Structure 1
Amino acid sequence: MQNLVLYRENYSQINKKITYYKRLGIHGLLINPFSEINEKIIEEIFALNDLLVKNNIKLFLQMDIEQSSKILLESDEQIDWVNPKIRTSFYQFINYLKKYKLKGFYYTNFEKLFADDFYFYIREMAKNIFLGEDTLSIGQINSDELAYQKFLSNTNYQNFDYIYNKKNSKKNMTDLQEVKKYFSSIQNENIRQIFITDNLLKNFINTKNFPFFSHSLVTGVTFLLNGGVLLENFEELGIFENNNYSNDHKVLDQTNKTFEFYKELINIKTNIEAIKRGTYREIFANDPDIFAFIRTYEEKKVIVFANFSQKEVLADIRFHFIDINDFKYFLGNYGKRKIAKNLLLRPYEFITFTK
């Protein structure tokens, strides 16, 4: 599935929210159900999965490999992954879930467990549980090494379909150009990451004074990169931290505005070929305030501009495009406008054009 959009949710709440998630347009729901494994929990998961399948939403199960293996073996002892019986037990459980149409898995806590022969165990997992019609696997890692991330997620290796790099959320980069360089390296190496909107770009926005523009700026850039997105905590409703709304009308207006913005981004990520499959090329790489890039697929293009400052910034785009007049407004957080050779970007403005 191209450009997966997942929502992390408490599985006991999902039955009440199916219509809401369909309206938002997400592809799947991620739950973490296994504090224990018994017949009742398994039956509840199968029933929930059947309900979601009928609504074209995929259920993803978070699988802590070490903890799941302990539960399956009914043991509190240290897991020795070298033992083939332990590995076989885990593989059999995953294949049992797949047999009953569970097709999405989010694997955690395996890097230390696999340390003795990491690459062998990943390939063994790929052979035993990753493959299958419509099955998607995500691995949670904690490393910036590009070769490692590429091995795990590049489609040429047939390991994970996506990876989520937990280390990204712990960094404290203060130079936007350094952050842009990091994102470009991920994009250009065809590393299929799952991103969260609470990512490295949050260090360069002012959510107190510019709540909607700051949040939508980061969200817009995150969604239009190549890769998946993981949402949670009703962030799409825009009830931002440090805001003092004076009345219910303002809260409702903000909620509707942000929800529709997310909905449109999910639609673009799902249906626009330049975003689904397009190559990535960064422009304005040396600019301290602007994060801009072009996604291209065949003759289709989407240009993304983002001003990560609370001042107006002028972007001279004359030397980047010979076909500038062919581009039309696509989406923005300030509203509709025309492309120009000297494009004035307002504080925390996110804007895209397409041809």
Structure 2
Amino acid sequence: MRENLVLQVLLVIIVVLHLSRRPAEGVRWLALAKMSWLGSLSEEDGCDRLAGLVKRQKRLCRRNVELMDSVKTGALMSIDECQAQFQNRRWNCSTTDSNRLFGRVILKQETRESAFVHAISSAGVGYAVTRACSSGQLRKCGCDRTVRGRSKDGFEWSGCSDNIAYGSAFSTAFVDARERGQRRKNSSRALMNLHNNQAGRKAIEDNMQVECKCHGVSGSCEMRTCWRAMPTFRRVGQLLKEKFDGATEVKSAIRGTRLVLMPLNPQFKPHTEQDLVYMESSPDFCEPDPKLGSLGTHGRVCNKTSKAIDGCDLLCCGRGYMTRKVKLVERCRCKFHWCCVVKCKQCERIIDEHVCA
């Protein structure tokens, strides 16, 4: 009897440990980027047919059908920006499978790359929804009308301020939906994803800009009206890429009754809301691994003179590289013809291109 009780206790402990490490595959919804028919989604029942969504996300979809096209736009923006920021690295954010997109490196692992994808995708949804609000495309939201009055710098708050509060709130509800359920099971992976999701939104919120318009005779700017606007999404991507390079490796720990993340190295200062965090070292991404989601670096163009990660030594993982002649066709000898026409010639030149073996 006592032995059975001990076995039952051990079984419970094993289950709890399994749940605490159970992966929260929170970016499956990015598959919406591949759905061409999403823009015509009009019936509430259609939300149940969307791949990659958990029940909470489907409920949000049914209540906010008009926002789903913005969610798709945000997904596309985040994928494009990820690929722009990582185009010269071994992992270049290439999508592999239409449903899993980035493979296990994002869905199953707790790496820096996973942290960046969660942050940029959360930012993408918040950005796209906010932009749709400001452009008047949505019935549920509009400009931020709380920014009013005269500022201490002497200008008048007016115009259409971007409603980042609404965009961030929807991003929190939609993007964080899967992890919210996992967090109640004390999942350290869910806690990591939630943190990085919030860091993505903070990259927009903390970098709102003031844009102004002058009024007065002949543009004298006797009076200025100003409004708050989001930074460009390229700027958001750059900020998050900087956070990726300086990401903090963390571990989970119990504080009281709560599961928290703390730096793996106690000598490092605690991470802030703006920082990205990860819990697992990244693979080298040198060789193709479809299950992992790595395409490898064979055949990638490298920079022979660079000592950085885009250089042939690092990008090619020490395998060496091949040099080939490539013909470039460019516009040249351009001339301005009155009025308003620029005419150019087509010039060809041969360059050396270096490709990883």
| TM-score using structure 1 length | 0.20
Greater Rg by CA: 2
